[in-house]
Amino acid sequence: QSLLPAGYTLRALRSNDYERGFLKVLEVLTEVGNHTKQEWLEQFNYLKKHNHEYFTITITDDKKDVVVAAGTIFVERKFVHKNGLVGHIEDIAVDGNQQGKKLGLRIIQALKYIGAQRGCYKVILDCSEKNIPFYEKCGFKQKEYEMAWYV
Ligand code: ACO
């Protein structure tokens, strides 16, 4: 496990990360929507209450006090593998100006660690073809195919 570059902090998502630009960072992934503070808190409070299932971490730039990277692990309960747990890594995002500084790698390392600590027997994720080399560097192997149905 390698360290964060100086001047950055990795920590759990906080309610006032709304003001620190957390949602803006997610815009590298897809359309996010304009959340009011109330709409943000609705989702934040749900996730916090269920933090044994959903855990979101961020990396902040200490000087600017803004969020520059984020990621989530969702822990799914199964019957197979004798009530096994599977970790799903979701919504890995690094601000466009901060990519290439190993922040994405640190987010993944931390989420893998959380998954292992929770007792997951595996941690999986879906990604685009162009991100395969990144996830391979993070220790993942390509397996199966992703299927999607959009309502
Ligand atoms: N192709 C080849 N290698 C790559 C790529 C790539 N597209 N991206 C990163 N790498 C390599 C880096 O060169 C580095 O290699 P090194 O250790 O040999 O130097 C290693 O992977 C780690 O790279 P980081 O610096 O940690 O990558 P970064 O912080 O830029 O984060 C990420 C990568 C998350 C893909 C970022 O570029 C990003 O936010 N992209 C836009 C959003 C996105 O696609 N998110 C992932 C969606 S999939 C999901 O959420 C499950």
pLDDT of res. 3: 84
Q: What element of type H or E holds 88?
A: strand 85-94
Which ligand 1 atom sits closest to the C-alpha of 91?
50
Q: Report ipTM for this prediction.
A: 0.98
Which of the listed residues 2, 98, 134 should we mutate to test ligand 1's pocket, taking the one with most ligand atoms within 8 A of CB? 134
* C-alpha dihedral (6, 12, 18, 23), degrees to nearest 10: 80
Residue 89, phi then psi, degrees to nearest 5 = -90, 130
Is residue 75 within 8 A of residue 53, CB to CB? The reply is: yes
What residue ranges of the chain have pLDDT lower than 70?
1-2
Name the CATH topology of 8-137.
Aminopeptidase (3.40.630)
Give the atom of ligand 1 at the shortest distance from the alpha carbon of 94.
39
Residue 2 has a pLDDT of 65
The burial of 71, by beta-carbon neighbours within 10 Å (0-12 exposed, 13-18 middle, 19 or more buried), is given as: buried
